[in-house]
Amino acid sequence: MIKASFKKYDLHFKQPSGTSRGILRHKTTYFLQLSKGDKLGLGECGLFKGLSADDVPDYEDKLQWLCHNCNEKFDDLFEDLKAYPSIQFGLEQAFLSLKSIDKFVLFPSEFTNGKAKISINGLIWMGSKDFMSQQIKEKLKAGFTTIKLKIGAIDFQSELDLLKYIRSEFSHQEIEIRVDANGAFTPKEALEKLKRLSDFELHSIEQPIKANQWEAMANLCSKTPLPIALDEELIGVFEKTKKEQLLREIKPQYIILKPSLIGGFKGSNKWISLAEKQNIGWWITSALESNIGLNAIAQFTYSLKNKLPQGLGTGGLFTNNLASPLEVNKGALFYNNDTKWDLSPLNFN
């Protein structure tokens, strides 16, 4: 007989982090614990307020429902949670954790053995031009060869000036640049802005316009001078036929997969399968989970053998994250088995 419980936990940012949706100072997440005899399993339900499709008033009620029904068949539970992708992901993690020899090793590999790394991008948060410039210098000094800039919060010319500065110091062969607009551009202005951004030989731009404007996004993807990656566009698209339709009609160059927002490992694999059939590229990104969720995403990502830099460098953003073996060094994520997990802040009974 499996027993289940959950804990709410507030992660606090080391410094306020800016996006086009506003300033983030803390993020609430939930941990799901399963127990069977002396075995424990742990997963994270990484709800993202204001972004997740399951940011709804009855979220904690649904977690309680799951705890009461945790002995039902996994596939039935997973399907019943279709409208709660972050809980689906927490459930997947917790069940894999419960079955594993080491509850933190969900996908045993050279990565979890500490013998392999995952190439990641360095994330540059929005802020003043000076603040963003400082972050860029720090990431380059730390050995990142791919950086990702959040854009759309300060004036566009200042953002172009930052890109010009990077390119004056580093060619596109030396430093790969991704930008993420988080839907900040209007459909009317987007193409012209993409043309100006393309002068700096960028890898791609994420979600240039807001989601759910399929016709406008399809038009952009057909005319864009730089590759477009869909991000928020995938959130809340639950049915396979709708996923297929979205990719077929918009024809993006890439999609970005955030397991907490799209139904975990299963949800990610469905998108990957559909994208590859249409020759659409993809990579995986964390969505401000604690190290529990990031650990699961990283292990899953390594198992997929995608050679692109992934978006998994968010573990160091919080003052009260859980101590873990995950480490970032020279633009890559490592698993250092000399460092032990510390779950004491969760205080599970």
Out of 150, 193, 210, 243, the active site residue is 150
* 258 belongs to the catalytic site: yes
Q: Regarding beta strands 176-180 and 204-206, do their DSSP bridges make them parallel or antiparallel, or are they unpaired?
A: parallel
- Report how far residue 285's alpha carbon sits from residue 58's, in angstroms, rounded to the nearest whole number: 27
- Read off the DSSP letter of residue 56: -
- Report how far residue 202's alpha carbon sits from residue 111's, in angstroms, rounded to the nearest whole number: 29
- Read off the DSSP letter of residue 208: S
What's the Cα-to-Cα distance from 72 to each of 75, 103, 232, rounded to whole Å? 9, 21, 32
Q: Regarding beta strands 122-124 and 146-150, do their DSSP bridges make them parallel or antiparallel, or are they unpaired?
A: parallel
- Report how far residue 160's alpha carbon sits from residue 319's, in angstroms, rounded to the nearest whole number: 32
Check: CB of residue 74 under 8 Å from CB of residue 86: no
What's the Cα-to-Cα distance from 57 to each of 48, 86, 272, rounded to whole Å? 13, 14, 31
Helix ranges, the chain (H): 59-68, 74-80, 85-99, 129-141, 156-169, 187-197, 214-223, 240-250, 259-262, 264-277, 291-304
- Report how far residue 314's alpha carbon sits from residue 77's, in angstroms, rounded to the nearest whole number: 29
- Picking from 178, 179, 185, 240, the residue whose alpha carbon sits closest to that of residue 217 is 185
Task: List residues bridging with 304 in a β-sheet.
Answer: none
Out of 117, 193, 243, 258, the active site residue is 258
* 150 belongs to the catalytic site: yes
Location of structure tokens 């890109």: 163
Rg of the Cα atoms in the chain: 20
Task: List residues bridging with 32 in a β-sheet.
Answer: 6, 43
Could you list the active site residues? 150, 258
